[in-house]
Amino acid sequence: MHNETLRPETTPNGLSSFSPLIDSAKLAHPPGTLVDRYGRRITYVRLSITDRCDFRCTYCMAEEMTFLPRHEVMSLEECLQVATVFVSLGVNKLRITGGEPLVRKNAMWLIERLGALPGLDNLVMTSNGSQLDRFAPALKAAGVRRLNISLDTLNADRFKAITRIGDLGKVFNGIAAAQAAGFRRTKLNAVMMRGINDNEFGDLVQFALDNELDLSFIEEMPLGEIHGRQNTYISSEEAREHLARRFELIPSTESSGGPARYWRIPGTETRIGFISPHSHNFCDTCNRVRITAKGELYPCLGQNDALHLLPVLRDHPGQDAPLREAIIASMGIKPFGHDFTQQMEAPQVVRFMSMTGG
């Protein structure tokens, strides 16, 4: 790891960039790629194309949400330009997120073009599954390689309570449609909530095994002003201890390019992952940034610092150079890490998960 001192410089568009005071060749990263001030190369971008969703999950949104007006949301063309510039800077994995990305009108127009970008090796999507019955074949044809589907419970009444308005049957149909379209290694994401779904962890694993799916359990994150979260938090270690009573879990060194740490169940192809932003901070290997639907570039999910790309896009329409400079400048505000544990009762990050795209 490199702890070089950075020197701020002013770019033509007035943004601050950061130049390392050491020879860039010593970073051992290809020239022209994104490297932050701690020597971490950025290869993974999570791009939110909408803040809207057809669910209202309790850990993700307020019950009464105020969504962005259309003029404050990046157009699909602007989303494509942002993604194209990131790929030109060495990003090879792009995750499409929301809200629910498939409720965005004409989302397939964008996804088809992203799938054709030279140098983008891994186009993936996170979805709640509700629209996959309609879109799974088109997503596969467009070049989406893998899907993540949020599923916190197998109980229809509990699902309705967690999502407020969701229909579990639509999600099951979406999973089946993804499999029929040829998607493999589809991953379920389950947010762990004490007193809500903690008695289903074993059943969720069994569902994944029965349907040849992967599954990641996620520690609840303190994003947005959602009260009572400190009472529902469960650590990954506690969840693994619970699962070990029913399944043999073997640690694995596999990686999907994200923050999950995986375990295997002997005799199966299923991977069980744990994403642990509280108990097992993974910041030292962070390789990702997030772009919100309104063009905010967040170098860290657990911090409020952001660079606003929308003004750059609209002040210089169709021009990649100013956008490229702004993205490179954002590496200077990427922190070494976050501390969610200190934020459980009074979150410092007041935006909701749906606004950041997960």
**Residues contributing to the annotated binding site for [4Fe-4S] cluster:** 53, 57, 60, 283, 286, 300
**SS3 of residue 298 by DSSP:** strand
Q: By CB neighbour count within 10 A (0-12 exposed, 13-18 middle, 19+ buried), where does 283 fall?
A: middle
207 to 210, 270, 316: CA distances (angstroms)? 5, 11, 49
Q: Which residues are annotated as a binding site?
A: 46, 53, 57, 59-60, 95, 99, 126, 150, 187, 221, 283, 286, 288-290, 300
Q: Which residues are annotated as a binding site for GTP?
A: 46, 95, 126, 187, 288-290
Q: Which residues are annotated as a binding site for S-adenosyl-L-methionine?
A: 59, 99, 150, 221
* Length, in residues, of the chain: 358
Element (H, E) at 353: helix 353-356
**98: Cβ contacts below 8 Å, ≥ 6 apart:** 48, 49, 50, 51, 52, 53, 104, 126, 127, 293, 354, 357
**150: Cβ contacts below 8 Å, ≥ 6 apart:** 57, 126, 127, 128, 129, 188, 189, 190, 191
